[in-house]
Chains A and B, each alone.
Chain A
Amino acid sequence: MKEPLLGAFETPTHNHMLGARQRLDVPMRRYRNAEQVDYCIVGVGSAGGVLLQRLARAGFSVVGLEAGPFWDTERDWVSDEAGSYNLYWNDLRITGGEDPLALGANNSGRGVGGGSVHWAGFTPRLHPSDFRIHSQDGVGVDWPISYEEIKPYYELLEKEIPVSGPAYFPWGDPHGYPYGPHPMGGCGDILIKGCTKLDIRVSIGGPVAILAGSHGDRPHCIYRGFCIQGCKVGAKQSTLISHVPDALEHGAEIRDHCMVSRIHLGKDGRVTGVTYFDTNGREAEQKAKAIIVCGYAIETPRLLLNSACPGHENGLANSSGTLGRYLMAQAGNVVLGRFEELVRMYKAPPAHALTEEFYETDPKRGFARGFAVQTVGPLPIAFARQMMVAKGAWGWGMRQVMMDYNHWGAIALLGEILPWEDNRVELAGEKDRNGIPVAKVTFNLHDNDKKMIEYGKNKVMEIMYAAGAEEVVQEARYAHLVGGARMGNDPRTSVVDKFGRTHDIPNLFVCDGSVMPTQGSANPGLTIQALAARTGDYLISQRSETLSRSTHSTKQPSIRYDLSPPGTWGKGVPRLT
């Protein structure tokens, strides 16, 4: 039999499940290494999954190289904290600075779907003000795009994910959601009660990337509470279940357990392919006409730094010297309150209610920008580790406080830490098992950040007391990672342009959270996926220009509504504004 024109197909080797009901049964295309594909995507996570789907649908040959496994959710995922270890990026990284970040389980995914596999699923949009905080508040930097430019992509992704939430979300640019809000759990009730006492508005039941009703072959939420351990139900979105099946159906290939170590540059100043270590630890090379790095805020700078070569001694796409810099995490202080009555916070998704009442700058508070307050729902191991710091508990004290686990509720700060040049990713002296230098992360809080955290933490504690807690403690921590390869119009101060194209190399792109110049007080997941869809539309509109020439347009193409996964359309979104 003759081989198909674009390479061989491989049928699934087992009953591959993506959630409780969705079965992956399409054969996957297999490209040969020497075959020059149109696009090679490094990292099939939140952004990589969406891009893979868009480019495949538009007819490009595209390979996604993913360092982790291609999950079969029934076989690989469990309703268990300790058993979910493999969902996280657990390889060595060095973390330092005055306020070092915890990495791994806290913020870094591994495997197809990436961090969207273990996010809690909050999907607020950025506010219009987030795109111009330098003009408006004199801090950070403005984005090269406005809210209006990303808004259609927010609306589109809210349908593709799809997002459950209230009919009217009052903050930023007010809007409603296609699926209805979720019922409340114990921590949501605490947030409502505390905020109501203090006359603070709360959004309940969302916005979250968790289905309140079934959607095609994805069932609705069953309120089991293990969202950040990977949703076996398939109710919480990850790109693994929302975009990857459609990508494969349209001819994309995903090569899992493939860790890219280096990007190659040709004599003409264009990238030509990547070297990676495959599932057996063997080195291989994939040729491509263009490369999109989607490795997130740490692995993206690490790969570009590790790809330094003559003419690019400081790393690929780093003529500005900003690669790896302006790394951000959000302040995520968890506030825990003990109640006389039982709470049982392990039920319901951790993410189900929030307020953005403190999101914007208020000059009276003495710092720029602000924060959100959100529900969390730590399971026993996470809760015990929080108590280790929040109460200084160990030994008999730990046993005692843990026997009261069901009396505690938790809500958390999500505060905007500003982009600072000294918060960065570099290469450490140590190497991983493949001999690739690992990342070293440096993080320092600055004055504005400290003031915001102090004020925000006290406000969240005030809410917890107002809800009726008899004892309130808190643990300082951080949530999410963005920045490190920021977008901008000026090649001297940014790594990529507003579409993710590196200023230095015309066929090398970055598309993930690392391109975000600022982060607001919104969880970054929705914004990352929206930016990926937008970059996808741009690449598709450029067609062959991106793949062959050095000249390129900087005009925003019109949004493509015909490239969404099946089941996106026909949902009602209330329009109350």
Chain B
Amino acid sequence: MSRREHSARPVNPETGDPLPVRAQPGYYPGFRTLSQKAFWDEATRNIVLSRLEIIPPIRFFSAEEAPLISAICDRLLPQDDRDELHKIPVVNFIDDRLHANRLDGYRFEGMPTDQEAYRLGLQGISKIAQHLYHNSFVDLDPLEQESVLQTLHDGHPPAGQEIWQGLPVHRFWLLLVQDVLGAYYAHPFAWDEIGFGGPAYPRGYMRLENGDPEPWEVDEHRYQWDPPPGSPSAKFTPVGGSSEHKGSPGQGGTH
């Protein structure tokens, strides 16, 4: 096992050994939202199945940028514990959004366009990698890559100031992470991982209280796991560093 593979996988906290790669990580073994697709309406079935069947080609990111954004997404939402068949193509969905110019309905004053923000942000991340490790981001080991990204999370990138002057780092971080989350947790593989019941029209839900499963849902079966030892992203530090950052309003609809 190479060093890179070893350090990227979650571990069994008792033995310290890497957990095996799975088709479906998470505490709901055997639970598949897609098993219910016959009970979904046609429009919903079409859009959910399209995420498995139609992987958008990379059209926005250049041949040089594509491996870099891919490596970044692999750390922002790591999938090292998923087997190859069940990895979620996060980068392709982000590329598709930028290519089609699907906006979120607003842009913060002082921010460039989303597309420009990505182009600049990738350059900035490369500069941080060079500054910290004298190497390109894609060639760093996973923990080093996380350390590079942690500086954006903290709002204190140690290099590329000429870029961050035109690209507020806090806003770029939230844009990047929210895009990754929007792609990953839209995928039925991710729903199976977290035990989300998924679409429910026209059948509906009936067991509403006490976390009870529907007849077709499964009970939780927890197992112990730890993130790869030393992983900076496992530490839950406030966005923007220790001081509470101003002006990071919620993105998606809740109310």
Interface residues of chain A, those whose CB is within 8 Å of chain B, are 20, 74-83, 85, 88-108, 118-120, 122, 183-186, 189, 222-226, 228, 232-233, 332, 334, 341-344, 346-348, 350, 374, 376, 378-382, 384-386, 388-389, 391-400, 402-403, 405-406, 410, 412, 414, 440-441, 475-480, 523
Contacts and interface: CB of A to CB of B under 8 A. Distances in A.
A76 B174 CA distance: 30
Interface string B225-255: 0011001111111110000001111111111
Given A106-B255, A343-B211, 20 more contacts: A78-B199, A82-B182, A88-B253, A96-B110, A97-B109, A98-B246, A99-B247, A104-B105, A106-B252, A119-B255, A184-B208, A222-B205, A223-B206, A232-B201, A233-B201, A334-B254, A386-B250, A395-B231, A403-B194, A440-B109
B interface majority secondary structure:
loop
9 contacts: A98-B247, A185-B209, A374-B255, A378-B252, A389-B174, A396-B231, A396-B234, A402-B193, A476-B249
Interface string B172-213: 001001100110111000110111111111111111111111
Interface in B10-33: 10, 25-27
Contacts of A105: 104-105, 251-253
Contact of B249 (A99, A122, A343, A391): A99
Contacts of A75: 43
Contact of B205 (A122, A223, A403, A523): A223
A388 B201 contact: no
Interface of B: 10, 25-27, 40-44, 47-48, 75-78, 102-110, 146, 149, 153, 174, 177-178, 181-182, 184-186, 190-191, 193-213, 220, 227-228, 231-239, 246-255
B239 A388 contact: yes
A402 B190 CA distance: 9
Contacts of A334: 250, 254
Nearest to B241: A392
A410 B252 CA distance: 15
Nearest to B254: A376
Contacts of A95: 106-109
Nearest to A189: B209
A90 B104 contact: yes
A344 B211 contact: yes
B108 A96 contact: yes
A402 B239 CA distance: 18
Nearest to A101: B249
Contact of A103 (B26, B105, B200, B205): B105
Nearest to B202: A20
A396 B228 contact: yes
B251 A80 contact: no
A104 B106 contact: yes
Given A79-B199, A95-B106, A395 B250 contact: no
A573 B178 CA distance: 45
Contacts of A233: 201-202
A398 B233 contact: yes
Contact of B227 (A89, A232, A397): A397
Contacts of A332: 250, 254-255
Contact of B43 (A77, A102, A347): A77
Contacts of B40: 79
B105 A100 contact: no
Contact of B200 (A74, A79, A342): A79
Contacts of B42: 74
Given A99-B246, A385-B252, A405-B194, A93 B237 contact: no
A477 B254 CA distance: 10
